[in-house]
Every structure is written in C-alpha cells, then in structure tokens.
Amino acid sequence: MGYPDMLIFLLPLIALAGFIDSIAGGGGLISLTGYSVAGLSGACSLGTNKFSSTFGTLISVISYARGGAIRWPLAMLSSAFAIIGSHIGAGIALRYSSQILSCMLLVTLPVLTVLTIVRPRPKSYLIVTGTHLFLLSALLAFLCGLYDGFYGPGTGMFLTLGFTALGLPLIESAGLTKAVNAASNISALLTFLFSGSIAFQIAVPAAAASILGNFIGSRFALRYGDRAIRPFLAVVMIMLYLEVVLSIV
C-alpha cells in the first residue's frame, strides 16, 4: 500500500476512532486495527496510535473542560494513580500472558453490555461524596491504569462506567475519563518517543484526523448527554468482546 493510498485508507478510520473515543472510549480498537492493516509493525502501530490519539484526547479534554464537565481536583488525583497503575501493569504484562485477562473479559463484558443498554435508575447507583469519592476514584483509576498497561483496549469505557457507578453524571464521567486518559497517554507517548517507535509521516496527519474526530465527538456528547454516550458505550463493549474472542481463538 503506497503512502497516499495508506492515508486515504487510514485518515477516515482515525477520525472515526477519535469520534467514538471522545464519547465512550475504545477508539483504539479501530485505530490500531487500521494501522495494522496498513502494514505497520506491532510496536510502530502502538507508537503511532499513541501519538495521534494523545493529541485528539487533549482536544476532548479542552472541549469537556469548557463545557464544565471536568472536576479538576478529582481528575488530577485520578490521573496520578492511573499513571502509577499503567507502569505496574506494563511490568506484569512482561511476565504473564494477556490471555488470562482475555478469558476473564469473556465473562464480564456481556454483563457490562447488558447493564449499559438496560441502565438501572440513578437511585440504584452507589452515590459517593467527599473523601470517599476521591479515594474510590483514585482506586478506580489505578485499576484501570493497571489494565491499560497489561492489556489496554476499552480502558476509557471502563473508566466511564466506573465513574458513573460512583454516582457522577454520565457526561461528567466522560469528561473525567478523558482527563485521566490524557495523562496516561502522555506518559506512554514519551516511552514510544524515546524508543523510536513512531512513524511520523503517518502519525502527524493521523493526529490531525484524530483531533477532528475528538472535537466533533466531544461536542456531540456535550450537546446530547446520556442519549449520545450510552449507545456508543454498548457498541464499544461489543467491539471489545469480539476483539477478545479473536485474540483467544
């Protein structure tokens, strides 16, 4: 696949990935598949994807922040714990097979999908405030960071569901998720930069496409709220489930 043809194939996919990622997380399932199909090696796909998605995520953070959907003290604490968890998860991944977690996801993902499509009433959620909210949010971010370093796909989706379960409105959960993702993405991006695993001739135009997709998606979510986010969460969980099944087969 020549360079112009590769960009014609990739850029719409990256924009779509950014759109979905800004709403529900999980856009990496689309973008990573696109880079692999385009012929990039495993490490180069990860590095190039991290470069483009980082810039797109930052645009989402700005949009959600301007819409008043990010609680910054909570976001800063959660981001710090997500980064710590991500580093530990990467170390675990070097010792154990990710198929262990894949088998676990085969059981948990269908349950999460049903709970997202048929959402319980708000009163059934665990409403947490004050210090407990900070502590549980930090724990959630750490665990999701651990998962992100160990396996990865769907981290944003799990964060959004987790923050919602703690009692935060879904739109605030999405905004907080993007802030946490941005911190962990920047940390990972530095690693890929130092290792030389980024194809800049592809990553730079892909970053522009990711920015466009994230901008449109975040504005869409802010405008339509739960009605926009919930269906995309369900779609991402189904995509992740298929990805897990294919990784095991």
Reduce the DSSP state of residue 192 to 3 states and report it.
Answer: helix
**Rounded CA separation 237/86 (Å):** 21
The answer to whether 52 and 154 have CB atoms below 8 angstroms apart is no
Break the chain into its structural domains and give their ranges: 3-248
Helix 170-195 / helix 3-24 crossing angle, nearest 10 deg: 140
Max Cα-Cα span within the chain: 55
Residue 112 has a pLDDT of 57
The answer to whether 166 and 133 have CB atoms below 8 angstroms apart is yes
The answer to whether 54 and 190 have CB atoms below 8 angstroms apart is no
Residue 140 has a pLDDT of 95
The answer to whether 22 and 217 have CB atoms below 8 angstroms apart is yes
Reduce the DSSP state of residue 68 to 3 states and report it.
Answer: coil
Average pLDDT score, the chain: 80
pLDDT digit string (tens) for 108-144?
666 655 655 555 444 434 556 788 899 999 999 999 9
Averaged pLDDT, 59-68: 91
What is the DSSP secondary structure assignment for residue 217, as one 8-state letter? Answer: H
Hunting for tokens 């969980």 — which residue is that? Answer: 237
- Answer yes or no: is pLDDT of 221 > 70: yes
Residue 135 has a pLDDT of 94
Hunting for tokens 């993902």 — which residue is that? Answer: 109
Nearest to 117 by CA among 237, 232, 234: 234
C-alpha Rg value of the chain to the nearest Å: 17
Reduce the DSSP state of residue 239 to 3 states and report it.
Answer: helix
What is the DSSP secondary structure assignment for residue 95, as one 8-state letter? Answer: T
Residue 108 has a pLDDT of 61
Residue 124 has a pLDDT of 37
pLDDT digit string (tens) for 11-38?
998 998 898 888 877 777 788 778 877 8
- Answer yes or no: is pLDDT of 97 > 60: no
Residues 6+ apart with CB under 8 A from 81: 138, 139, 141, 142, 145
What is the DSSP secondary structure assignment for residue 124, as one 8-state letter? Answer: G
